[in-house]
Amino acid sequence: MPNDGFVFDGTVGGGAGPEPASSQSGSTVDHKAPLDPQPPVVWKLFADELYFQCHHDGYGDGRPRMAEPAVRLGLAGALLVELTWHQWIRLHDELVIVQRSGPPPDLTAHEVMDHIRGEPKPLPVWAWLKFLSAMSLEMIAKRLERRGLLQQEQRGWLRREMRYVPVDNNYAAWANARLVAAYRRGFDFGLTDLVQISLVTATGFHREVFYDVPAERLDTLTTWANDGTPEQVRSLIQMIQASAGNAVMAPR
């Protein structure tokens, strides 16, 4: 039975996790013959952290910082990053390939894997980003609600709008504050921090997170984070960034 937020230690950063397997270009790919190594102990909730990073912190009103399509795309990408980080999936020629049998220990990740395994053949990353974007915001909000970090409240005119709001505004603000604090300590980031910085950069949220960092220094930071991200995750994040750019340029 999957356990949502399985053995989560309260942090996303601060220490290296398992390095995702590198792309096996040129090898025979079997979509239905995954490996089955020992499952991880701690599920890294990159998407939960991104949710707080792309919503206004400190106000408790649940409003997104960016346009909703950008938030949805970012969260969809973060869900795939979680699965890639823990080696449940890998990339091969821009296709998403199942790598492990059995369910992930996280309930939301389990739901995503059910969709991926339900396809008769591998689909490209962009197809999964498009598909997951339609549900990613709700999936992550519900996961955070189950973890006791979000709650639903009626907001707006005549209180007709139901919105997810932080249970603790200080906790919500910490997603950004801890990365800024690590930057000010002299790039004191763990490996998962580099992944998180690369994610917020790919989806265009990095200037919101590092709002007071000069542009030149911010470019140095984001390049450094990208270079330090494991190969499979880095490749996936680059595809997320390309999809985000295409979404911005698409006619409305």
Is residue 84 in some structural domain? Answer: yes
Is residue 186 in some structural domain? Answer: no
pLDDT at position 241: 94
Burial label, 96 (beta-carbon count in 10 A; 0-12, 13-18, 19+): buried
- Among 214, 207, 208, 205, smallest CA distance to 184 is for 214
Low-confidence stretches of the chain (pLDDT beneath 50): 1-41, 248-252
Number of helices followed by number of strands (H, E) in the chain: 10, 4
Is residue 109 in some structural domain? Answer: yes
What whole-number distance in Å separates Cα of residue 44 and Cα of residue 6? 9
Residue ranges making up the domain that contains 108: 46-174+231-249
pLDDT at position 29: 36
Is residue 23 in some structural domain? Answer: no
Beta bridge partners of 153: 163
What whole-number distance in Å separates Cα of residue 111 and Cα of residue 47? 14
Name the region of 188 (left: φ>0; alpha: ψ -120 to 50; beta: rest): beta
pLDDT at position 155: 64
How far, in Å, are 119, 128, 170, 175, 230 from residue 57 at the CA level?
Answer: 38, 29, 8, 9, 29
Looking at the structure of the chain, the number of domains it has is 1
Is residue 64 in some structural domain? Answer: yes
Could you tell me the two tokens for 171?
Answer: 């906790």
Is residue 32 in some structural domain? Answer: no
Enclosing H/E stretch for 152: strand 150-155
DSSP letter at 164 equals E
pLDDT at position 159: 61
Is residue 157 in some structural domain? Answer: yes
pLDDT at position 33: 37
How far, in Å, are 32, 207, 208, 238, 248 from residue 56 at the CA level?
Answer: 42, 13, 10, 25, 21
Is residue 17 in some structural domain? Answer: no
What whole-number distance in Å separates Cα of residue 123 and Cα of residue 97? 8
CATH number of the domain enclosing 153 = 1.10.3630.10
The whole-model pTM stands at 0.81
